Chain A
Amino acid sequence: MGKCPASTSDPAVRFEHLPLISGPLGHLNAQRPRIMADVIRRTLQDFESGPLDLVLGESLYQERQRLKREQINLFTRGRHKADQRLWSEIQTGLLQSSVSVDRKGLLKQVTRHYADEIAGRFNPEIYKVATHAVPFAFSWFLNAASVRRFLPWGLSESLATRLSIVGEVSHLQKLAQKGTILLVPTHQSNLDSVLIGYVIYLMSLPPFAYGAGLNLFSNPVLSFFMGNLGAYTVDRKKSNAIYKQTLKNYSTTILREGIHSIFFPGGGRSRSGAIERRLKLGLLGTALDAQIEKLRNGSDKPNVYVVPMVMSYHFVLEAASLIEDFLAESGKHRFIITDDESWQSAKVLNFFWKLFSSQSGIVVRIGMPMDVFGNPVDENGASMGPNGTTIDPRKWLTTRGELRADAARDHEYTRELGERIAERFHRDNTVMTSHVVAFAFFELLRSRYPELDLYRFLRLSAEQRTLQLEGFLAYAQQVHAKLLQMEAQGELYLSQELHAADLRAWVDDGIKQLGVIHDAAVVKVAEDSVWTEDMNLLYYYRNRLTGYGGLKKTMGNCGRKGFLE
């Protein structure tokens, strides 16, 4: 794989006005009734042999619990009411004998309700408007933020330096012609969902269907755009079996129809700030299910290609509430955060303002495309095995001489795929100056208090959180040297700024960029000391470098106690 260390100066995709590409999603509206019917039929089939009373009863209980906890606002009230109505009817039905009320009918009613909630309504016209509006909006922010780049060509140039799309872009573009793409991004912020649509457009790919959290749909403007841009809803709060099965069947069906898709394989946003290591296998397995069906149907483009995508930010809008949630959960005091904080428009505006005014960048790296088993795929779409062999997916899906689905086997394949994706997430991560500053500062400070557990460590007093600048710089240099070594071994990528030879240059950049969005300074420097004003945020940004074994080993003397790794 080609290395691309100069990530921010030489992006694989440059900003310009690109033609819109139409794709299979364009026909989604026409196919919607058929797809819905198919999803409902399959879901009914999946539950056919089981005890329906039990399945419905458990789902009823779980949904009642969820509805009780749900916080209602103006935008979610309608959906909440509809849910309540449905489950009241189901309850009434379940109370009568199965002779007078058919359980299958009840199941069908629930499935239809869910399928309708999940399914997106793509509108090509709105897609056209939206993709053109986004660059204009970006330009507007840029205009306001940086007057010295007022010239039109200057505008587009500096946007390219903000958002770089690097990695296997042309590979992905070629594969999109040869099969169905399942793009699996890391997930840090609600902004990811917005950014993704734009990234797809910038890569000259046809529109993708994407699974976005239901909470994003509570904002009517966003909901209108997202829904019409091909988003379907994924509600992580619905944990009942019927919902999960319906969602899986929806994803399988659209992939089987050849519609390129995106969903976050880690589930929700990373709470700790770390790159996802454990993925949700249920939805991920739909790639394999779709490929098996396509092979059995004799489709001319049967392959599903799984493409990892890693987004790196200097700051995350909702970092504070994410890490709070993470710490609360790890400390076993579970509570549910209100999800919508990141969508307060002032905060979003502030984010974009900071993004442009601070010369901060976002790096999006497209990882090595894989087949549904996690094997690398070449540019012709063929799966590559070890020792120069080519893999025929049909053979891997043949059990006792027959090409077919096999629940136990496919679960194991998907588990392996999940591991490969998590591996690629770490390898394709672009480490930025702010991440290294946060990591070095946290680790050095941590080594001073080896006897404290994490929770007490995070409550150090203001004086205790201060380090000598000189010592910090020396330590940062050590970390940096190790990171360079790791990059040479292909374990991660470093941003362009981190290739600067001058230690102070990148450290200063990192301190400046680190969590610049927040009210408190995450790391601050004055004269000969460095300190932090917010330990939780420091921990959050430090965690971006969690899960790199090599890094942990060299920095091993830093207290292990209470580390949540």
Chain B
Amino acid sequence: MEEKAFWSKAKVAVIGAGNFGTVLASLVSKNCLQVRLLSRSEEQARAINSTRLNPSYMTKLSLAQNITAFSEPERVFEGGVQAVIWALPSQVCRQEAKVLAPYFGGDEILIHTVKGVEEGSLKRISVLLREEIPCPRIGVISGPNLAEEIGRGEPAATVVASDFEEVVAAGQALLTGDYFRVYPGHDVIGVEWAGALKNILAIAAGAVESLQLGWNARALLITRGLAEMVRFGMAMGAKEETFLGLSGVGDLLATCSSPLSRNYRTGLRLAKGESLDSILQALGSVAEGVKTTRSVREFAHAHGIDMPVTEGVYHLLEGKLSLQEIIQLLMTRPTARP
């Protein structure tokens, strides 16, 4: 196959050596010639190159020989790469995109893995990257992809979506593995928004778990939460069916039932009465859902989109209402609007 043959000789940059960046570098390394991993610190890069292990993330995942880590972007883009996988938290995307823009040639395939939107502007990450980087062929991957499980080689699947057919094809060729399936998608808006919105519900799921409310409550939360995700997504131009796929309900189920998710853990600890600041400090890494909740709630209010669960999570984050009070409010809402 032409596609596979091309990528087997290609060089791929992975931007960000966090959990997901490291796992993706490992997946991609099996389907291309060389992977260049951009890491934040020189030490981390050196450690990866000498021990074949990332000292801070996915510490048990042994990295193949064709993966090289760098801390300078010049080295990553030297001589050109054919694809770039963008695995950074949403908060730093704008700033990093500005820094990395001059290194792009324009013929790269750029695929991001960010499950979040820009705070305040509510811009999707593919829009943000297009604004900052002179590289038009952009796609997104999203799905129920807990990094630890993929790292252990457990079966999983994802969706690659783009307006450009060749980006989808490249994503499939690069990421498909023995235990990792890649489905094609075209609803970029839907995939990106589903990935961002489910983080809000993950916080809620964590909170519900802390009270040991049982399966009914959890199913109630997920189902009604999905309904408001669809409402919001469609207002943003997404297609409804995307929310029924891997990047929608698939991702939602994984995140809302797994204690591995940072958003879930945030919800869990909030419900136990810990303050948001101390939780975020303790987690050490970002919980995307916290900022998404505020921006989404604001937008939903301004445009009259009904989002009761998001409203509840917002109050939980603000710390002004207790979880009990929020649940009571949600349970006494009228079940149908006139």
Contacts and interface: CB of A to CB of B under 8 A. Distances in A.
Count class of interface residues, chain B? 20 to 34
Given A386-B134, A396-B107, 10 more contacts: A375-B134, A385-B106, A386-B133, A387-B98, A391-B106, A392-B106, A400-B6, A400-B166, A409-B137, A413-B136
Contact of B106 (A395, A400, A413, A415): A395
B131 interface: yes
A195 B252 CA distance: 59
A344 interface: no
Given A386-B131, A387-B98, A409 B165 contact: yes
B78 interface: no
A127 B6 CA distance: 53
A412 B6 contact: no
Interface string B1-31: 0110010000000000000000000000000
Interface in A378-400: 385-392, 395-396, 398-400
A274 B133 CA distance: 33
Most A CB within 10 A of own CB, among B2, B136, B166: B136
Contact of B136 (A373, A387, A390, A408): A373
Nearest to B101: A387
A412 B101 contact: no
6 contacts: A373-B136, A385-B133, A389-B104, A395-B107, A396-B136, A413-B136
A38 interface: no
A385 B101 contact: yes
A278 to B, nearest CB: 16
A386 B101 CA distance: 8
Contacts of A487: none
Interface in A198-215: none
A416 B136 contact: yes
Contacts of A413: 136
Contacts of B164: 408-409, 412
A406 interface: yes
Given A386-B134, A391-B134, A412-B163, A400 B2 contact: yes
Contacts, number: 54
B153 interface: no
Given A387-B98, A406-B166, A409-B165, A401 B6 contact: yes
Interface string B132-176: 111011000000000000000000000000011110000000000
B106 A409 contact: no
A386 to B, nearest CB: 5
Contacts of A396: 106-107, 136
Contacts of A389: 101-102, 104, 134
B237 interface: no
Most B CB within 10 A of own CB, among A387, A390, A406: A387
Contacts of B2: 400
Nearest to A406: B166
A389 B77 CA distance: 15
A369 B164 CA distance: 25
Contacts of B107: 395-396, 398
A465 B223 CA distance: 51
A349 to B, nearest CB: 49
A400 B98 CA distance: 26
B55 interface: no
B273 interface: no
A400 B3 CA distance: 8
Contacts of B102: 387-389
A408 B106 CA distance: 18
A373 B2 CA distance: 27
B105 interface: yes
Interface string A79-109: 0000000000000000000000000000000
B105 A395 contact: yes
B155 to A, nearest CB: 30
Contacts of A388: 102
Q: Which 9 A-B pairs have the closest CB atoms?
A: A385-B134, A395-B106, A395-B107, A387-B101, A408-B165, A398-B107, A389-B134, A400-B6, A391-B134
A551 to B, nearest CB: 18
Most B CB within 10 A of own CB, among A390, A392, A398, A412: A412
Interface string B169-185: 00000000000000000
B174 to A, nearest CB: 13
B172 to A, nearest CB: 14
Nearest to B6: A400
A387 B132 contact: yes
Nearest to B7: A400
Interface string B94-109: 0000100110111100
Contacts of B98: 387
Most A CB within 10 A of own CB, among B105, B106, B107: B106
A387 B166 CA distance: 26
Contacts of A387: 98, 101-102, 132-134
A415 B136 CA distance: 12
B166 A409 contact: yes
B273 to A, nearest CB: 42
B105 A392 contact: yes
Contacts of A386: 101, 131-134
Contacts of B106: 385, 391-392, 395-396
Contacts of A416: 136
Interface string A425-464: 0000000000000000000000000000000000000000
Interface in A400-418: 400-401, 406, 408-409, 412-413, 415-416
Contacts of A398: 107
Contacts of B3: 400
Most B CB within 10 A of own CB, among A391, A395, A400, A412: A400
Contacts of A373: 136
Contacts of A390: 134
A398 B2 CA distance: 15
A395 B3 CA distance: 18
A416 B137 CA distance: 12
A387 B133 CA distance: 8
Contacts of B134: 375, 385-387, 389-391
A395 B82 CA distance: 11
Nearest to A401: B6
Contacts of A375: 134
A416 B127 CA distance: 13
B13 to A, nearest CB: 16
A390 B2 CA distance: 30
Nearest to A373: B136
Nearest to B162: A412
A526 to B, nearest CB: 42
A304 to B, nearest CB: 17
A416 to B, nearest CB: 7
A394 to B, nearest CB: 8
Interface string B267-309: 0000000000000000000000000000000000000000000
A288 B67 CA distance: 38
